[in-house]
Amino acid sequence: MTRIISRAAALATALSVTFATSAQAASPAASACPDYLFLSGNLALNPNFEVPAAGVPLGTTKCWQNGNPSPVDSAAANWQMHSSNAGATVCSTLVNGSAPGPGGSRLLAFQAGGNEGGVYQSHALDPKKAYMFSVWVMVRSGQVAIQSRAMTGGPVSWTSKIGEWEQLRVCTNSLANTDTLVIYNQAPNGGTFFVDRAELREIPIRE
């Protein structure tokens, strides 16, 4: 994947979302970061996906299809949708629900028609500093990955479970700056996932 943020895309049908109580799953990505302490509060925008995008009421599916203008906001404020270089279709819906642990009462449901379909937000951060990006994901189909750079070269974490909440996280150092929080399906045939509780925090630099 040479460029994550290529075009937004969407699926023309609404998502039908049901939630069941799920145990927290042990993720191989949960140990991707060394022991650390936080040097900042949460720098992510709309981290708990509580705020809908302007003009998009709770439960309304927002879609993009190949050929429409891009980029485009998702159903959640401060998060934009993206897709594959081929412009596979995607949709997002802000719904009631939450990941395990403290947080709000809403989360974002996403359906990708191909690989690289997901959401992102850009940040202007000091490239000389290190950051931790964490998010909770439940995959219904496909496989989800996260990274904290729009381009290749930084750390990537991915899910290993279906139907269970997993916490994914990546940490950078001064060799791989953090500029974009990216959450995307990487399965070539598409996928459906739910995302909640994003965190972006400064951590001490470890070379």
Least confident of 78-82, 99-103, 155-159, 196-200: 99-103
Q: With a threshold of 0.95, does the pTM exceed it?
A: no
Q: What is the pLDDT of residues 11-69, one digit of tens each?
A: 222 233 332 223 333 344 444 577 778 999 999 999 999 999 999 999 999 998 877 77
Q: Is the dihedral of CA 133, 134, 140, 142 positive or negative?
A: positive
The segment with the largest mean pLDDT, out of 63-67, 119-123, 176-180, is 119-123
Taking the C-alpha atoms of residue 202 and residue 30, their distance in angstroms, rounded to an integer, is 17
Domain boundaries, the chain: 24-203
Percentage of residues in the chain having pLDDT higher than 70 = 82
Contact 105, 96 (CB under 8 A): yes
Is 128's pLDDT higher than 70?
A: yes
Which phi and psi angles does 99 have, rounded to 5°? -80, 170
d(CA 143, CA 156): 13
What's domain 24-203's superfamily in CATH? Galactose-binding domain-like (2.60.120.260)
Q: At residue 114, does pLDDT exceed 50?
A: yes
The mean pLDDT of 162-176, rounded to a whole number, is: 88
Which residues on neighbouring strands pair with residue 118, listed in sequence order?
82, 184
The pLDDT of residue 25: 39
Tell me if residue 207 falls in helix, strand or coil.
coil
- pLDDT-derived band at 90, boundaries 50, 70, 90: very high
